[in-house]
Amino acid sequence: QVQLVESGGGLVQAGGSLRLSCAASGRTVKTGWFRQAPGKEREFVAAINYGGSSTYYADSVKGRFTISRDNAKNTVYLQMNSLKPEDTAVYYCAASAAYCSNYGCYASVRMYGYWGQGTQVTVSS
């Protein structure tokens, strides 16, 4: 069983930046960030493989968000720049011991077995 703990959420003005962290209690093959706004389905944001050589992004965040990891610390980061009010949501870290080979797999909620408790990100206009 892997425990995930997110941190770094908060309130920021549009155009600002935040960095989310996801600390894992053990090794995971892939780690992703998802978000869920009130009244909406949970959606994929970004994902990264264990080695950090493969990263995937939703079109809505491409060019603004960067996912990275430090395996020595078992921590994955999500650097969020140029934030928009529509980025407001609870952000969840997710991880899995299963391998993926394509975007569709990395972006699927069903492919992750471990989830954090979520951290709120609010972007004011």
3-state SS string for 101-125: CCHHHHCCHHHCCEECCCEEEEEEC
pLDDT(1) > 90:
no
User: What confidence score (pLDDT) does residue 58 get?
Assistant: 98
CA 33 – CA 97 distance, rounded (Å): 15
User: What confidence score (pLDDT) does residue 97 get?
Assistant: 86
User: What confidence score (pLDDT) does residue 88 get?
Assistant: 98
CA 71 – CA 109 distance, rounded (Å): 23
CA 24 – CA 114 distance, rounded (Å): 10
pLDDT(29) > 90:
no
Rounded to whole angstroms, the maximal C-alpha distance in the chain is 40
pLDDT, tens digit (0-9, with 9 covering 90-100), for 34-81: 999 999 999 999 999 999 999 999 999 999 999 999 999 999 999 999
pLDDT, tens digit (0-9, with 9 covering 90-100), for 104-115: 999 999 999 999
Q: What average pLDDT does the structure give for the chain?
A: 96
Asked whether the beta carbons of 89 and 121 are under 8 A apart, the reply is yes
Residues forming beta bridges with residue 96, ordered by sequence position: 30
Which residues are CB-neighbours of 103 under 8 A, at least 6 positions away? 56
**Phi, psi at residue 110, to the nearest 5°?**
-70, -15
Q: Residue 8: pLDDT band by 50, 70, 90 thresholds? A: very high
> How far out from the chain centre does Cα 98 lie?
17
User: What confidence score (pLDDT) does residue 13 get?
Assistant: 98
CB atoms within 10 A of CB 78: 26
User: What confidence score (pLDDT) does residue 43 get?
Assistant: 98
User: What confidence score (pLDDT) does residue 57 get?
Assistant: 98
